[in-house]
Amino acid sequence: MPLGIVFPGQGAQSVGMLADIIEVHPKVGRTLDEAGEAMSFDLRSAVLQGPAEVLNRTDITQPALLAASVAIWRQLQAAGAAPVAMAGHSLGEYSALVAAGSLPFADAVRLVNLRGQLMQRAVPLGEGAMAAILGLDDDDIAAACAGIEGVVTPANFNAPGQVVIAGSRAAVEGAAEACKAVGAKRAVMLDVSVPSHCALMASISDEFAQKLADTPLQMPAVAVVQNVDGATSKDVDSLRAKLVAQLASPVRWTDCVAALLQAGVTQVVECGPGNVLSGLIKRIDRSLKSQATGTLAGFEAAIELLQQEPGA
């Protein structure tokens, strides 16, 4: 049963996430403490106690989700997890790189903390927006966006019939209405603080690239499928370039899952809070089994699954 590991991005966070797991498996909480030390912030308190307005700040959300995901990964790895490939959705790509031995954990925490700061700075609060478009083909969504004045483009190709668009608020609202007019089942404005993965993020690319250039990075020991093209990188320069491009380019999650299937993956474990990616995987290919780990029951089911594997 070839294993793939996937890591969630922003939107998976909630105050109290992992609390039931930490109560039974205290080692999980130590990774939150380690991350807090790296960024000189009480991250464990923000994760477990909130308040939500602090945890939902993108500069806190990003290191919090990375730490939560890596915390669970460490326990899965100790239980014998030996994936043939990994992928992460947006921010989750950094969790995947940490898990694959490409990016040191403390450096990753500081890097995504800065990434969040830069993303928030790129667009004043309230001026950007994102919307989920349901039940419409990708090409029709792209065409609807192209017909709107202003910045709005597909940002997340999450699954067939589920695409998120992003850009300036007025343009996103106009594109959402245009999508409904040509047959979308629903167009839902999302509660986000920044319009990720669109041209409005291009202004921060250079500053982020400079920070990334100073961050230790090596080729991953396990294949990591990257968001911008649904493919792995052949060298570190390509790896870095794709991480920078990811800021202003759409997340091609459907292609990432297809790449996991191409690598022979038949069982996926979603490593981190929530179960969003497991739901998307079912929409993409129902033959691909998925196990979420965001609750104690799910976490322990994943551990049990791994311990049934030969050699685990």
Answer yes or no: CATH 3.30.70.250 is held by domain 128-192. Answer: yes
Place of tokens 């500081």: 110
13-27, 135-149, 298-312: least confident range:
298-312
What residues are paired with 6 via a beta bridge? 87, 270
Highest CATH level, class, for 3-122+200-307: alpha beta
Determine which one of 89, 95, 193, 197 is catalytic: 197
Place of tokens 């590991």: 5
90 part of the active site? yes
Could you give the CA distance from residue 147 to residue 240 in angstroms, rounded to a whole number?
Answer: 33
Look up residue 265 and give its amino acid.
V
**For residue range 252-284, what is the model confidence (pLDDT) as tens digits?**
999 999 999 999 999 999 999 999 999 999 999
Could you give the CA distance from residue 54 to residue 57 in angstroms, rounded to a whole number?
Answer: 5
Determine which one of 69, 89, 90, 102 is catalytic: 90
The region that residue 135 occupies, defined by phi over 0 for left and psi between -120 and 50 for alpha, beta otherwise, is left
pLDDT score for 212: 97
Kindly tell me if the per-residue pLDDT of 219 is higher than 80.
Answer: yes
**For residue range 78-113, what is the model confidence (pLDDT) as tens digits?**
999 999 999 999 999 999 999 999 999 999 999 999
Could you give the CA distance from residue 142 to residue 165 in angstroms, rounded to a whole number?
Answer: 9
183, exposed or middle or buried, with CB in 10 Å at 0-12, 13-18, 19+?
A: exposed
- Give the pLDDT band of residue 309 (cuts 50, 70, 90): low
* Helix (H/G/I), strand (E/B), else coil: 184: coil
First to last CA, the chain: 12
25 part of the active site? no
Q: Which residues contact 194 (CB under 8 A, 6 or more apart)?
A: 58, 119, 120, 122, 123, 128, 201
Predicted TM-score (pTM) of this structure: 0.96
Kindly tell me if the per-residue pLDDT of 239 is higher than 70.
Answer: yes
Cα 184 to the chain's mean position, in Å?
Answer: 25
Could you give the CA distance from residue 156 to residue 153 in angstroms, rounded to a whole number?
Answer: 9
- To the nearest whole number, what is the mean pLDDT of the chain? 96
In which residue ranges of the chain is CATH 3.30.70.250 found? 128-192
Cα dihedral sign, 99-100-105-107: negative
Look up residue 121 and give its amino acid.
R
Supply 72's token pair. Answer: 């669970």
In which residue ranges of the chain is CATH 3.40.366.10 found? 3-122+200-307
